[in-house]
Structure 1
C-alpha cells in the first residue's frame, strides 16, 4: 500500500505545481492540470473500496500468505537454478487460477552462476575466520586457494595512490557507507579496479548501513581486457578490524578459497498476466517485481515482496469487478539480480510493437522503503521531480 499511496500523493503534488496550466501534445492544448486533479478526485470511492478490501476484507494478509507459501515451498531462486524455474511454473499456475487474463510465459536466456564452497581465514597477525559471500559472476580460486598479504584501502582514489603496493596482494575495501547508489560501485567495480593494479583478489566491505556480522552478496561486473580475479563481500566488522590493524602497521595475511563457477546460459521465462483495458486496451500500465533471488536467503524481501504486491494490485481490481480503461499488465521478471536480464530482454522483445516502453515515467518503492524514480525521454519532468526531492535512478 505504501507504493500506491506514494504514487498517488506524489503525482497529485506534481500536478499542483502547474495547476491551471494546459498540458500540450503536438502543440495542441488537451486538458489542464486542474481538470486532471478533479478526475483523480472523482475516483475516491473506488480507491476506498480497494483499500477496504486490502486492509479489512477477504484480501487482508493475502499477499503475505501467498508469498510465504512460495518461499517456504521453493526457497532461494538463483538465476539458472531449478528452484527459480519451479517458482516460475508455480506462479504461472497461480495467475491462471486467480482468473487474470492473457497469462503467459515469455522466454529469456539467463546466466547460470553458482558460488560453491567458500571460506576466508586471516592467518596473520592471528587466526580468525572471516565470514564471506562470493559476488555474482565471480570466478573461483585455485583449489588450494589464494594466500596473500592484504592491502586495505578506503576508496578507489586511495587504491590508485597506493597502486605500487597492491601487486600480488588481496585488496580489502573499507569504504564508508554514504548511500546505496554511491557505495555499491565498490561491490560492482571493486574487482576490476583491484585487478588493474595487479591484485590477486578483492574483498569488499558489505554495502550496508548496519551490520550484525552479516556479509552481503550481489552482482559484480568484470571488464573486457582486465584480468578476472576472485571477489567477495566481508562484514563491516571485519573490514573495520583490518583497517585498524593496517593503520597500526600490522601485516595481515589471508587465505581465500572460492569454488565459484559460471556455466553456460540457460532458458528461463518472464511471467506475464493482464487485466485488459475497456477503452484503451493498447495502452498499458505495467507493474512488476522479480521472482529470482540470491541463493543465501529465501528472497522474501528482495524481491518476493515486490512481485507479490504487484500481483495483489491486479487481484484487488479483479475481485472488485473493476475494469480499468487501460490494460494493467503484471510482469514478474527473471534474472534481475544478474543485471536486469529479464527486463532488458522484455524491452528488446516489445520495443518495436510497443514503443511506449521506451518513454515513460515510473515510480517504485521497494520493501526496503527505498523510493526511486526514472523519467525516460522527458528532461523537463525529470527536473521538476528532482527539484521536489524525488531523485532519478
Structure 2
C-alpha cells in the first residue's frame, strides 16, 4: 500500500460542528457536515497521533508482559495530557503465555522445504529437540471433528480451510473454528501436534497467530499456523502423495507418507499482572448512566498492533475528545458521562473485558460501543436499543449517512470487551468498518502503521464523533 502523509487534517466532525449537535434538543435535525474550509482549519488528528505514537513508542504489547505494562503507563499519561478526567489503571491477574523458538519443515517424501510458522497462543511445546511425524490432512474443521480417532492418533494434524475476504468479516467465525477449537479436538483424538492454514485472506508468506484454548484436563499439544502460500505447498505435496500412493499400491509398493518436522517452544509464565485503562468525559447530569466506548490496548507480538487495535483506541479517544471540546465550545458538556475503556488482554481471552464486567457490571450503562476491526472506513451502523430509542436510531442514522454509512438490519453486539455488558442487557450500537482487507494483516508481522490509511481513519472519527455526541446527549426516555 502507498504510504500516506504523517500529518493530515481531520476530515469530518469538527469541534464546531459537534458543538452544534450538542446544542440541539434531542428531536432536532442534524446539521450538515462541516465545509472544506472548516476542515482545513483543523490541526493534528488525535486518532492518527495516538496510533502513530503507540506503535512507535511502545510497539508490540502482548498481554501480561512488561511491554503491555509499559503501554498502560503510556496510556495513562497520554489520556491525562489530553484533558480527560478520572484517568486510572484497574489491574487484574491473568495467565500469561509467551512464544519461543518456531520452525517447521516438510521433510518427506520430497526434498525438505521450510515453512513459515507461528505458534498459536496457549500452544504446547514440542520440547527443544522438536518432533517429526506423519501429516493427517483434513479439508476443514468439521472434517477433523467427524474423523475417527485412529486417523488422528500419533500424527500431526493439518487443517486446510481457505478463508475468503468479506466486507463484514463474516468468514472469521466459520473458518476461525480451526484455530479456536481445532487444537483441542486434535489433542482429544490423540494427535501429537496440529498445524492449520492461517486464518487470513492474504497470499503473503506471513503466518497469522491468535489464541486457542484447551478444555480443562486436556493436555495442550504444539499448535501453529503456517502462511497461506506454505499451506498451498503442503496441499500440493499431499495431493501428490495421494497420487503416488494409488500408483505404487497398484504396483505393489508402499509409498512414504507426507511428513513434517516441527519445533515450537512456548512457555506458560503463570499468573501475571495485566490491566484496563479508563478515562472519562464527565457529563452534566451525574444521575444519567454513562456511555461506554471501548478498544483494546494489548496486541499480538508479531507486529506493532496498528490495526489491531491501536487504531481503535485512537478512533474512540479522538471521538470522545471532539465531543468534549465541542461541549466546552458550546459552554457546557455532554449530558452523559463518556467512559473510555482501553481494555487489556483481549487477544488472549478477553480478560480485560471480563475484569471490567466484574468491577463495573452492576453499574447501569446507557449504551456500549467498541472499535476493534481495523482502521478502514465505517460503512454500516446497527443497533440494539430499546423500543423507546426508535427516534434516537433515526437521528444517528441521519447524522452518519452523509459519510457513506448505511443502516443495517441485524442486531448490534457491541464487541468483545463490552460483550459481557451487552449480554447482561446493556444497549449497543455497532459502527461496522470495511473488513475487506482486514484479515490480510490481522495477527501477522504486517500489522504495522503503514497499513493505516489516514483518510479512512479520519472518516471513522467523523462517524464516531457524530454518533457519540448524539448518544451522550440522549434523554432518559430514550436510553436507561
Q: TM-score range by the shorter chain?
A: 0.7 to 0.9
Counterparts of 1:128 and 1:364 in 2: how far apart (Å)?
40
- What residue ranges of structure 1 are gaps of 5+ in the alignment? 5-36, 382-386
Helix, strand or coil at the partner of 1:224: coil
Helix, strand or coil at the partner of 1:222: coil
- What residue ranges of structure 2 are gaps of 5+ in the alignment? 1-9, 14-23, 165-170, 245-256, 391-406, 414-480
Counterparts of 2:268 and 2:312 in 1: how far apart (Å)?
28
Residue 237 of structure 2 is aligned to residue 245 of structure 1? yes
Is residue 3–residue 364 contact of structure 1 (8 Å, CA) maintained in 2? no
Cα 1:56/1:344, change in 2 over 3 Å = farther
Aligned positions, number: 350
Residue 192 of structure 2 is aligned to residue 200 of structure 1? yes
Give the structure, 1 or 2, with the largest relative contact order (CA under 8 Å, sep 6 or more). 2
1:263 alignment counterpart = 269
2:312 alignment counterpart = 306
Please point out which of 251, 260, 266 is paired with 1:254: 260
| CA-based RMSD | 3.1
Residue 279 of structure 2 is aligned to residue 292 of structure 1? no
Q: Deviations over 1:110-152 (max 9, x none)?
A: 3321101111111112210011010111121121111101111
State the Cα distance separating 1:169 from its structure 2 match. Answer: 0.7
Please point out which of 174, 179, 186 is paired with 2:160: 174
Q: Deviations over 1:25-66 (max 9, x none)?
A: xxxxxxxxxxxx983544427x749x987x534344332133
Helix, strand or coil at the partner of 1:39: coil
Q: Deviations over 1:302-347 (max 9, x none)?
A: 0000011111112212333251111111110000101111011101
Please point out which of 345, 353, 356 is paired with 2:355: 345
Counterparts of 2:63 and 2:371 in 1: how far apart (Å)?
23
Q: TM-score, normalised by structure 1?
A: 0.80
Cα 1:217/1:305, change in 2 over 3 Å = same
State the Cα distance separating 1:86 from its structure 2 match. Answer: 0.8
Q: Which has the higher strand share?
A: 1
State the Cα distance separating 1:372 from its structure 2 match. Answer: 8.7
2:87 alignment counterpart = 103
Counterparts of 1:276 and 1:336 in 2: how far apart (Å)?
26
Is residue 137–residue 159 contact of structure 2 (8 Å, CA) maintained in 1? yes
Q: How does 1:45-64 map to 2 (within 5 A)?
A: 48=34, 55-64=39-48
Cα 1:294/1:116, change in 2 over 3 Å = same
2:343 alignment counterpart = 333
Cα 1:203/1:268, change in 2 over 3 Å = same
Q: How does 1:163-242 map to 2 (within 5 A)?
A: 163-177=149-163, 179-242=171-234
Q: How does 1:355-366 map to 2 (within 5 A)?
A: 355-356=364-365, 360=367, 362=369, 364=371, 366=373
Counterparts of 1:65 and 1:188 in 2: how far apart (Å)?
34
State the Cα distance separating 1:203 from its structure 2 match. Answer: 0.4
Q: Deviations over 1:144-177 (max 9, x none)?
A: 1111011111123322335322111100110132
Cα 1:302/1:216, change in 2 over 3 Å = same
Residue 26 of structure 2 is aligned to residue 39 of structure 1? yes
Q: TM-score, normalised by structure 2?
A: 0.66
State the Cα distance separating 1:106 from its structure 2 match. Answer: 1.2
1:83 alignment counterpart = 67
Is residue 291–residue 304 contact of structure 1 (8 Å, CA) maintained in 2? yes
Counterparts of 1:258 and 1:202 in 2: how far apart (Å)?
11
Cα 1:392/1:241, change in 2 over 3 Å = farther
State the Cα distance separating 1:292 from its structure 2 match. Answer: 0.5
Helix, strand or coil at the partner of 1:44: coil
Is residue 203–residue 228 contact of structure 2 (8 Å, CA) maintained in 1? yes
Is residue 120–residue 225 contact of structure 2 (8 Å, CA) maintained in 1? yes
